[in-house]
Structure 1
Amino acid sequence: MSSNHNHAASREVSKRHKVEGPQKHIVGFILSLALTIIAFAAVAAGEINETFTYIILVAMAVVQVIIQMAFWMHMKDRGHLFPIIGIIAGVFVVITMVIMALYWVWW
């Protein structure tokens, strides 16, 4: 009786916690590497407009952060709602502070 109960409990735990193989980590690594190469190529190509280069760098950085959080920090998984809310709130506060600082300087 006890062994059946332990076996059923172990199956229940294995259903909740699937073992994640290295495939997703490899995909995340390759995507991060590709984004880094794109950013380096944008800087290395001297004939690209400087403003466009900055836009590319910021866009690659934002996508890189999203990939890092999804693949390495597992923010895509269930149970990470409060950290995601905290990160979004922090980003909102920082953007607000930057906008207000720019407004104050340009006033």
Structure 2
Amino acid sequence: MTTKQPSSDSAVKHRHRPEGPQRHIVVFVFSVVLTLIAFAAVAAGGINATFAIILLLVMAVLQVFLQMGFWMHLKDKGHMLPIIFMLGGFFIAGTSIIMALYWVWWD
């Protein structure tokens, strides 16, 4: 009986562990909670308008990171090019908005 010896070319391969639904469920629940908090902040009406706007913007940014990281799988390897293009788009859009506001309110 002969036994196969592993060749020096074959390295130990690490198996990719499937993600499973657990993380997606947690992220979905977190997204729903953020949405409910935003709805409650606006529906309550007793909150300062500036605080409500800041709260909504912070929760919107959190939602964007959650959506892109988990639902669009940008947290996985091999997605650097789409991330670079999106960051470039965010930079151009942000610069355009800032310049438009500056242009409108500049005396």
Root-mean-square deviation (CA, aligned residues, Å) is 1.6
Distance in 2 (alpha carbons) for counterparts of 1:20 and 1:104: 48
Q: Share of identical aligned residues, percent?
A: 61
Is residue 36 of structure 2 the alignment partner of residue 33 of structure 1?
Answer: no
Aligned pairs for 1:1-16 (under 5 A) are 15=15
Q: Residue 4 of structure 1 aligns with which residue?
A: none
Distance in 1 (alpha carbons) for counterparts of 2:68 and 2:102: 31
Distance in 2 (alpha carbons) for counterparts of 1:19 and 1:31: 21
Aligned pairs for 1:1-107 (under 5 A) are 15=15, 17-107=16-106
Distance in 1 (alpha carbons) for counterparts of 2:31 and 2:38: 11
Aligned residue pairs, count = 95
By relative contact order (CA 8 Å, sep 6+), the higher-ranking structure is: 1
Stretches of 4+ aligned residues off by more than 4 angstroms: none
- What is the letter of the counterpart of residue 34 of structure 1? V
Deviation at residue 82 of structure 1 after TM alignment = 0.7
- Structure 2 residue runs of 5 or longer lacking an equivalent are 1-12
Structure 1-normalised TM-score? 0.82
Larger Rg over CA atoms: 2
Which structure is higher in helix share? 1
SS for the counterpart of 1:89 is helix
